[in-house]
């Protein structure tokens, strides 16, 4: 199954199941149903097709983003909107506090934790978890690991000594604008083409090259009105 899918394209893994609901016939006209694969919309491809990542899985799922805080926060918000509990492990809680307070309309769906202090989350099919690790250039090895129904998204602002290991062990890797030297190293590790490698230092804010095995997809993440009001416009630097 493809970790990264386009709505209406390849089918990804389904998220948690839900109990059935009933509705009276007169209310059916008010319902609208999403069409496409199940997952978090991370942006659009060059043809404007929505691209989705299925964070809620019955198997461990690790995602690495070499990029900006803005994109990681958008992904966290959108994961919470799908019903996931989001635990943010960070050494800069001040950068996440407004998001945590605003997400979930008062419900505690995004929680902040000091580095190394994320408690067991008790992820289940009915209550999936996404852990966002915003722990700087050298995120320590800890007890926070991916597991059934608990995905881990690690944010690295730049290429660091731990990046090669994380790139090799992650199921999905996203790369935003990096220096030409970093692009060359990333290209060798991920097996990128010359054109893909040369493009990395020129990427606009909000553009990410997502890699899953041999699959590649350029994705533009644009903010909704609510997201831009909370987080501002796309940016690579913080």
Q: Which domains does the chain have, with CATH numbers?
A: 38-228 (3.40.50.300)
CA-nearest of 89, 80, 90 to 110 is 80
What's the chain's length in residues?
238
pLDDT for the residue 9: 36
pLDDT for the residue 17: 41
Kindly state the tokens that stand for 162: 């731990």
CA-nearest of 169, 131, 173, 137 to 152 is 131
pLDDT for the residue 19: 42
Prediction pTM value: 0.84
Neighbours of 238 (CB within 10 A): 11
Task: Collect the ranges in the chain with pLDDT lower than 70.
Answer: 1-38, 104-107
- Alpha carbon 128 to chain centroid, angstroms: 14
């Amino acid at each position: 199954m493809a970790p990264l899918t386009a709505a209406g394209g390849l089918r990804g893994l389904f998220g948690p199941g839900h109990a059935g609901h009933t509705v009276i016939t007169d209310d059916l006209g008010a319902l609208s149903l999403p069409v496409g694969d199940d997952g978090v919309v991370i942006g659009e491809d060059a043809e404007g097709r929505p691209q989705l990542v299925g964070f809620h899985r019955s198997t461990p799922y690790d995602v690495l983003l070499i990029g900006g805080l803005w994109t990681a926060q958008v992904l966290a918000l959108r994961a919470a909107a799908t019903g996931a509990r989001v635990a943010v492990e960070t050494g800069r809680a001040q950068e996440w506090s407004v998001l945590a307070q605003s997400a979930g309309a008062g419900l505690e769906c995004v929680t902040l934790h000091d580095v190394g202090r994320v408690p067991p989350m008790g992820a289940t099919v009915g209550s999936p978890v996404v852990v966002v690790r915003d722990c700087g250039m050298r995120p320590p090895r800890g007890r926070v690991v991916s597991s059934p129904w608990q995905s881990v998204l690690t944010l690295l602002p730049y290429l660091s000594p731990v990046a090669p290991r994380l790139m090799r062990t992650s199921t999905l890797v996203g790369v935003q604008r990096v220096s030409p030297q970093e692009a060359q190293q990333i290209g060798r590790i991920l097996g990128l083409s010359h054109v893909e490698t040369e493009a990395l230092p020129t990427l606009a804010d909000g553009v990410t090259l997502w890699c899953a095995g041999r699959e590649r997809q350029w994705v533009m993440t644009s903010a909704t009105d609510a997201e831009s009001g909370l987080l501002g416009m796309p940016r690579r630097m913080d």
